[in-house]
Structure 1
Amino acid sequence: MVWVIGNKGMLGTQICRTLKENKIECTGTDCDVSILDFSALEGFASGKDISFIVNCAAYTAVDKAESDVDFARALNADGPRNIARLAKKIGVPFLHISTDYVFDGSASSPISEDAPIKPIGVYGETKAEGEKSVQEETGDFYILRTAWLYGWSGKNFVYTMIRAMNMRDSVKVVNDQRGTPTNCVTLASVILKIIENRLAGKNVPNGIYHVTDLGEITWFDFTNEIKKEAADAGFLLNKDCVVNPCDTSEYPTPAKRPAYSVLDKSKIQKTLGISLPDWKESLKSFINSALFDKTRIE
């Protein structure tokens, strides 16, 4: 049985869906079992035939983290340490989700897993601490760094921008931050592949892996493609909405954003023998799916 922690979040919901679609038994917990309480985690695991643990729980409010440092550190560093400790105790692999925010954004070409980490904000700092915590507590770990994630469940950039374009005559979107939009389906499919291989007794080397869709664009580019696909799908009521580019400096936020967040995915593709999808392909699939939540764009 796979235990998905943070199963009610955007990614956790998709992972559970993907596992069930592929006939892999799973169970999930969210706030009902605190990752800050080792005894609670241990109590939940007791008596269950758990074979793999996936952690999606995290403090993800990037700007709020700047003033809520202790709680962000608790969820992003202390919590993963507890889960990794438990995974080692019961003898199962542990997969933990991390982020491109562990880097400072100064790169100019896709970032490899062994590039030096240098976070520029509290969120990135605490996620980096979480990676270290996991590696200190267990050797049987997988840390998957991802970026610009969106999914059918929960708030995300795609829903937000379609709703904004339906309500306004124009929107401004930053054009000086580069990265790769990533459909939760892509990340969940990679996690599925790792789990399937491990449950089948196949070797998947432990370590850190980068997982996003393929491609390199700005948020402005992303918005224009969202506009196109939403219009084609009949979701864009205001097709005359103008998307204007702007610089990050025009939208100051408490936390700095990495200017360049493109991750090198060659390691995970080679290890699993897979080809990740292009970001445009994933976006089209997302918007045209029956799972697309129209209530979130109204």
Structure 2
Amino acid sequence: MSRLAVLVPGGRGQLGSELARILAARTGALVHRPGSGELDVTDAEEVADALGSFAETAKDAELRPVVINAAAYTAVDAAESDPDRAARINAEGAASLAKACRSSGLPLVHVSTDYVFPGDGARPYEPTDPTGPRSVYGRTKLEGERAVLESGARAWVVRTAWVYGASGKNFLKTMIRLSGERDTLSVVDDQIGSPTWAADLASGLLELAERVAERRGPEQKVLHCTNSGQVTWYEFARAIFAEFGLDENRVHPCTTADFPLPAHRPAYSVLSDVAWREAGLTPMRTWREALAAAFEKDGETLRTR
């Protein structure tokens, strides 16, 4: 196992928290996870200085450095009325990071999203399938992917979906909060995806980061990493209630049309893990197994929120 130095821009959210938790258990590992107030990815000069300093720190400590970019404008609906800011963070910020990685000789793992696809498929999307985002968020994330891959840096894009955990804002925590405020909940039953526990995603990204830091590939530059299986938001909500010890029949199905929102949501955004497995990376467990593990590990924290 490599002695890694990991820089995580946008690292104060759920993914950064899980990366820090895993690396804290590794002897000699280093993680720096600045939030937007500490590292503004839209400031190219600040980014170049930060990454240059990080590269020197890793060298002095004889660690293998890698950057995992979790910085993103993820307010999907707000992005529809704030496209310039979404583009600055998701596209221009990603480009600045990739440029600085190239200059400093740092490998980059850039986290992206299922929203780059149109969502009208009927089988899991492969990394090579045509993209076609239908929201500002999806379009700006796709622009960021392209900037990273065209930058000349040693860079990989990892798309994920429906991420949840004990930190940050996510669907699981929203369901738990609403369960204490409402007798019943209506949740959409016509959007299908793969819920992904942030801890499992972090483990997968670190496995890739180790490979990348040791210059062991993989050759595939775009990969998908989610917990396996597929489910609707309604079915996911019922599973959350069941794990939480609540009556899952309090959750009722509805359609996307019943609750119109500013941004388009993919009706089907399951991501295929074929390329991930072919790269020799550890297959992800099922979403249901991961949900049970999340409650086993963080149940007490979740129950107090």
TM-score above 0.5, yes or no: yes
Q: Is the 8 A contact 1:36 1:78 kept in 2?
A: yes
Structure 1 CA distance for aligned equivalents of residues 242 and 184 of structure 2: 15
For residues 126-275 of structure 1, what are the structure 2 equivalents within 5 Å? 126-231=140-245, 236=246, 239=247, 242-275=250-283
Residues 17, 221 of structure 1: alpha-carbon distance in 2 compared, 3 angstrom cutoff? same
- 1:21 is matched with which residue? 25
**SS at structure 2 position matched to 1:220:** helix
Structure 2 CA distance for aligned equivalents of residues 88 and 270 of structure 1: 27
- 1:123 is matched with which residue? 137
* 1:282 and 2:290 correspond: yes
Q: Which residue identity lines up with residue 41 of structure 2 in the other structure?
A: I
Shift of 1:45: 2.8
Structure 2 CA distance for aligned equivalents of residues 292 and 62 of structure 1: 29
**SS at structure 1 position matched to 2:238:** helix
Judge which range, 129-138 or 158-167, deviates more. 158-167
Residues 285, 59 of structure 1: alpha-carbon distance in 2 compared, 3 angstrom cutoff? same
TM-score (norm 2): 0.91
CA RMSD of aligned residues (A): 1.6
Structure 1 CA distance for aligned equivalents of residues 78 and 34 of structure 2: 24
**SS at structure 2 position matched to 1:293:** helix
Structure 2 residues without counterparts, runs of 5 or longer: 59-64
Structure 2 CA distance for aligned equivalents of residues 16 and 156 of structure 1: 19
**SS at structure 1 position matched to 2:16:** helix
Match of 2:72 among 54, 58, 71: 58
- 1:98 is matched with which residue? 112
Residues 291, 200 of structure 1: alpha-carbon distance in 2 compared, 3 angstrom cutoff? farther
* 1:41 and 2:47 correspond: yes
Structure 1 residues without counterparts, runs of 5 or longer: none
Q: Is the 8 A contact 1:38 1:82 kept in 2?
A: yes
Q: Is the 8 A contact 1:152 1:292 kept in 2?
A: no
Q: Is the 8 A contact 1:4 1:16 kept in 2?
A: no
Percent identity over paired residues: 36
Q: Is the 8 A contact 1:97 1:145 kept in 2?
A: yes
Residues 296, 89 of structure 1: alpha-carbon distance in 2 compared, 3 angstrom cutoff? farther
Judge which range, 118-127 or 41-50, deviates more. 41-50
Aligned pairs, how many? 291
Shift of 1:85: 0.2
